[in-house]
């Protein structure tokens, strides 16, 4: 009987720790996704204005194929379920401005999206 009571008490004490681990893992994924989005946005901003549309419209890195700044695919397992991409919006009446959007997905679910207005 004492073992059953102790087991129930232990389960009640350990349950918050498992949910805390889940929240911590989600936070880590979101932080990593924000860094990946920011890195790609900086790469796009560093490109000549006329090359942004040519190189980054419809740009996509499939799940498990996310690249670092040098162009090499991340081999760390923390990046295995991430994918990211970019697109742009262009208003013909404002030819010197485009809005670039970078998104990052984890297991196919978008968790981060960044947009930035870039001028010529």
pLDDT score, position 10? 66
Per-residue pLDDT at 25 exceeds 90: no
Q: What is the pLDDT of residues 95-113, one digit of tens each?
A: 889 999 999 999 999 999 9
Q: What is the pLDDT of residues 66-84, one digit of tens each?
A: 998 888 998 888 889 999 9
Distance, CA of 88 to CA of 46 (rounded, Å): 15
Domain ranges of the chain: 2-119
Distance, CA of 65 to CA of 73 (rounded, Å): 6
């Amino acid at each position: 009987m004492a073992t059953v009571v102790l087991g129930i008490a232990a389960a009640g004490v350990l349950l918050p720790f498992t949910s805390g681990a889940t929240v911590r893992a989600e936070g880590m994924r979101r932080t990593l996704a924000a860094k990946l989005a920011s890195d790609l946005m900086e790469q796009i901003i560093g490109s000549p204005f006329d090359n942004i549309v040519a190189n980054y419209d419809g740009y996509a890195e499939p799940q498990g194929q996310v690249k670092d700044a040098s162009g090499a695919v991340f081999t760390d397992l923390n990046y295995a379920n991430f994918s990211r991409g970019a697109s742009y919006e262009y208003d013909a009446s404002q030819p010197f401005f485009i809005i670039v959007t970078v998104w990052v997905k984890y297991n196919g679910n978008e968790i981060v999206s960044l947009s930035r207005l870039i001028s010529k």
